[in-house]
């Protein structure tokens, strides 16, 4: 990215994440130290787009702030569609680092970001009942369709 003010750069990235990204918590099961299927919650910030220039700009910003991410190219099953590029940030440390920079700029995904930050700020190895509910809370915020706003 050209020399741009830090606030403008973070505002731009926030807009991309608001429109093209996902901020969430996911329940997974992992094998840890000989134990099989240990339930865990992981934070994820993901951005998907078909424009490699956009992906490269995002990577440049993440590199600038020392945020570790993974990028992969996915071919579409439909031969008429372009391949997409997926940027994933999947650790408490890196999600927290990014969300501390952009949450104030988010509009659409601000609630999700605040919930993920709450999770990332916890140092618990055994999750409290509140923490166990956070992935479902984000799921309800991300649910598609009409929302009853009474």
Q: Is residue 46 part of a domain?
A: yes
Query: Residues 7-44: pLDDT tens digits?
Result: 899 999 999 999 999 999 988 887 777 778 777 889 99
Query: Residues 31-90: pLDDT tens digits?
Result: 777 778 777 889 999 999 999 999 999 999 999 999 999 999 988 788 888 889 999 999
Q: Is residue 27 part of a domain?
A: yes
Is-contact 41 27, C-beta < 8 A? yes
Q: How many domains does the chain have?
A: 1
pTM: 0.82
Q: Is residue 147 part of a domain?
A: no
Which range marks the domain in which residue 18 is found?
6-138
How many Cβ atoms sit within 10 Å of the Cβ of residue 10? 18
CATH no. for residue 120?
A: 3.10.28.10
How many Cβ atoms sit within 10 Å of the Cβ of residue 21? 24
Q: Is residue 132 part of a domain?
A: yes
Q: Is residue 149 part of a domain?
A: no
Phi and psi, residue 13, nearest 5°? -60, -40
Q: Is residue 116 part of a domain?
A: yes
């Amino acid at each position: 990215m050209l020399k741009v003010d830090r606030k403008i750069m973070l505002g731009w990235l926030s807009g991309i994440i608001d429109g093209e990204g996902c901020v969430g918590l996911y329940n997974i099961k992992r094998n840890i130290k000989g134990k099989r299927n240990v339930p865990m919650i992981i934070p994820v910030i993901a951005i998907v787009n078909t424009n490699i220039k956009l992906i490269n700009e995002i990577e440049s910003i993440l590199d600038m702030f020392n945020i570790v991410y993974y990028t992969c190219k996915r071919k579409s099953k439909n031969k008429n569609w372009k391949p997409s590029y997926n940027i994933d940030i999947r650790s408490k440390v890196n999600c927290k680092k990014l969300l501390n920079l952009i949450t104030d700029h988010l509009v659409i995904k601000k609630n999700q970001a605040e919930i993920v930050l709450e999770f990332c700020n916890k140092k618990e190895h055994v999750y409290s009942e509140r923490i166990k509910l956070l992935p479902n809370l984000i799921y309800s915020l991300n649910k598609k369709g009409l929302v009853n706003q009474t």
